[in-house]
Amino acid sequence: MVRIIGLEAMLHISFGMAALIFGVALYILICALGTGQVHKNLKFRTLTITVVIGDLVSILDNIFRDSGVFPTPVAIKLLLLLLVFYLNVLLTYYMALYMEGFFGDFKYKRAFFYLNTALVVIAGVFTASVYIYQLVKYEGEAVVSTVPIWVNVLIGYVLEVYFLIYAVTLFIILQGNLSRRARITSMAAFAVTTGSVLFELVNTFGIGSGIMYNYFGAVIGLYIFYIGVETPDYQNLLRTVTDLNEAKLAADEANKAKSDFLANMSHEIRTPINAVLGMNEMILREAEDESILTYADSIMHAGKTLLELINEILDFSKIEAGKTEIVPVNYDLAGVINELVDMIRPRAEDKGLLLKLDFDRRLPRELYGDEVRIKQVITNILTNAVKYTEKGSITFSIGFEDLDVFPEQIMLNVAVKDTGIGIKAEDIPKLFLEFERIEEKRNRNIEGTGLGMSITRSFLNLMGSELKVDSTYGVGSTFSFSLKQRVVSRKELGDYRDSYSGDQKERKRYRAQFTAPDASVLMVDDTQMNLKVFTSLLKKTLIRVDTAQSGDEGLKLAAENKYDIIFIDHMMPQKDGIETLHELRESDGGINAETTAICLTANAISGAREKYMSEGFDDYITKPVNPAALEEMLIRYLPDEKINRNPE
């Protein structure tokens, strides 16, 4: 076998010495500072000391056997040669063992540990046997100082390649368990170390010079591992990241528990509110006594206030979950203003406040935007103004500016000015903190959740606007925002009162939007009061309503009667609404298998609509039931030929 002599041998020795110095320095560094990965510390130290010892033996082999400078007994030469081979095996074995430590327990770890350890032991016994055999069969130095090629291949090639393939395969299969930094570091270290070992194997067959091979590359690989993976600082960071990930998982679990709690509380609270407001609606529709109607009005306002508080919490939950979306539609600005004034006037009058209205008569009436969110934002601002104003006035103004760059759009300018208690400059940022109340002691008697302004700001941000606050403590505040809206029609608003439906003091009598005496619907709900409310709300539409208090009872009725629409509550004992729907849909040949199914539920938590639609419901409506929304939904899904619309 061709070996390095002369200058090349000295270069190999020089690189070996450099590798030895770097290896010893690394080992001292490890002993002094340790490594971050306690469970792998011993494996990394073992790998490092194996490299150092192997490098030292390789240097001695080059000095006493390859250089030919020093006369050396043939037994020592043979020993150095075989030790170089065997230490190469140990190097790749410990590299594979170290790599195993990155992945913890995996399916065949124990089996491979026994196999790999057995191979190393067998290699050691085989190496010793070859050494003894060569000495016994001594036939001259040329034979003693070398070994047969098949021994060279087995010890110095096959086993090393096996351990390299094992380590690389392990890395490829399980690298997903590593951090990005650990993956990159391992790839770089593998490339250098594996390359150096393979070059040494090539050199075994007399190809190449051997300079910079094997241990020099292995030491460089060790440094890459140490700096990239094993340094205590990095491992502290890794543990911190792990702790943060665990904390995130715990937070996600807590958030899920919170969402589950909100969903449950939403259902539990909204169900009795549905009964209160539903029955109260029937009093307003059917009672004639003015005093009773006055009491019913009070119940309605109190119930709606309670519902607003619940909706604020649910809106906040949706915002937190990132489930809130802006849904622009065509809307009538006059109608929006009417509703807002309708809502705020009684509250202002109850406190003796003067409500001033200042609406630009030139405002385009028909706009395109998220009508629901706009009303909610302005409602929050107006109700806050009333709550924090004890005397004086509330000024509600809406103006606009044309946009030269976008002639089809306007900038809608909304402002609410009050003569209330005002806000200190340092307290203004607290307005937008969740569950935060400014001057809690002073304002302890003022109702609210502390979420209104936070929700308002979030909605405005989603619509590309922001809430501006100008306040003088003890004098009053002005809340304003500007919002781009697309103009659908340039018809002017004029005097909004011209489109206002009558004097606010004159109570409107209920009138159904339509009648449908030939239509039939089924309502499935486990609460008798909910069934009664639903039936009562549809009394004047003349629709035939069948009711069922369980999923099984509803399925039985659906098997016997054809319905135009089936309303199903979600949270029912034994068989819930989703299970009931699935069974209804899966009934082969069932007369209502394709009937429109609407989830009528008190669950209004974020993501509820998406959940019910994905389960197969055609639509979704929440409790407390909005009578107008219910009638509109019926008009949408009932067959046109069964609907008789009432003239205006």
Domain boundaries, the chain: 6-230, 259-324+511-648, 327-499
- Residues contacting 327, CB < 8 A, separation 6+: 370, 372
Structure confidence at residue 216 (pLDDT): 72
Q: How far is CA 215 from CA 22, 360, 453, in A?
A: 11, 85, 67
- What is the rounded average pLDDT of the residues 342-355? 87
Structure confidence at residue 401 (pLDDT): 92
Rounded to whole angstroms, the Cα distance separating 129 from 152 reads 14
Structure confidence at residue 500 (pLDDT): 44
Structure confidence at residue 264 (pLDDT): 65
- What is the rounded average pLDDT of the residues 508-517? 75
Structure confidence at residue 504 (pLDDT): 38
- What is the rounded average pLDDT of the residues 353-361? 91
Q: Which CATH architecture has domain 259-324+511-648?
A: 3-Layer(aba) Sandwich (3.40)
When mean pLDDT is compared across 50-54, 195-199, 433-437, the lowest value belongs to: 433-437
Structure confidence at residue 556 (pLDDT): 93
- What is the rounded average pLDDT of the residues 507-516? 70
Q: How far is CA 456 from CA 131, 251, 378, 384, 459, in A?
A: 85, 26, 8, 11, 5
Structure confidence at residue 634 (pLDDT): 92
pLDDT at residue 63 above 70? Answer: yes
Q: Of 60, 1, 25, 62, which is closest to residue 211 (Cα–Cα)?
A: 62
For 327-499, CATH gives 3.30.565.10
- What is the rounded average pLDDT of the residues 445-458? 63
Structure confidence at residue 320 (pLDDT): 54
Segment 452-473, tens digit of pLDDT: 677 788 888 888 899 898 988 8
Backbone angles phi, psi at 444, to 5 degrees: -65, -20
Taking the whole predicted model, whether its pTM rises above 0.85 is answered as no
Q: Of 594, 581, 521, which is closest to residue 555 (Cα–Cα)?
A: 581
State the pLDDT confidence band at 501, using cuts at 50, 70 and 90: very low
State the pLDDT confidence band at 154, using cuts at 50, 70 and 90: confident
pLDDT at residue 306 above 50? Answer: yes
pLDDT at residue 631 above 70? Answer: yes
What count of residues does the chain have?
648
pLDDT at residue 322 above 90? Answer: no
pLDDT at residue 187 above 50? Answer: yes
Residue 585 and residue 593 in contact, taking contact as beta carbons nearer than 8 Å = yes
For residue 62, what is the DSSP state? I
Structure confidence at residue 1 (pLDDT): 37
Backbone angles phi, psi at 422, to 5 degrees: 75, 175
Structure confidence at residue 335 (pLDDT): 80
Mutual angle of helices 290-320 and 452-462, in 10-degree steps: 60
Q: What residue type is assigned to position 163 of the chain?
A: F
Structure confidence at residue 609 (pLDDT): 79
Work out the percent of the chain whose per-residue pLDDT is above 90.
Answer: 18
Please state, rounded to an integer, the average pLDDT across all residues of the chain: 77
- Tokens 């385009």 sit at which residue? 364
Q: What residue type is assigned to position 178 of the chain?
A: L
- What is the rounded average pLDDT of the residues 604-615? 77
pLDDT at residue 629 above 80? Answer: yes
75 vs 560, more confident: 560
- What is the rounded average pLDDT of the residues 515-533? 90
Structure confidence at residue 375 (pLDDT): 85
State the pLDDT confidence band at 581, using cuts at 50, 70 and 90: very high
Structure confidence at residue 153 (pLDDT): 73
Rounded to whole angstroms, the Cα distance separating 586 from 588 reads 6
Structure confidence at residue 159 (pLDDT): 84
Domain 6-230, CATH number (from 2.40.50, 1.10.10, 1.20.1070, 2.30.29): 1.20.1070
Rounded to whole angstroms, the Cα distance separating 96 from 105 reads 14
Residue 483 and residue 412 in contact, taking contact as beta carbons nearer than 8 Å = yes
Q: Of 556, 531, 555, which is closest to residue 545 (Cα–Cα)?
A: 531
Residue 102, both tokens: 């990155």
Backbone angles phi, psi at 600, to 5 degrees: -110, 100
- What is the rounded average pLDDT of the residues 276-295? 77
- What is the rounded average pLDDT of the residues 285-301? 75
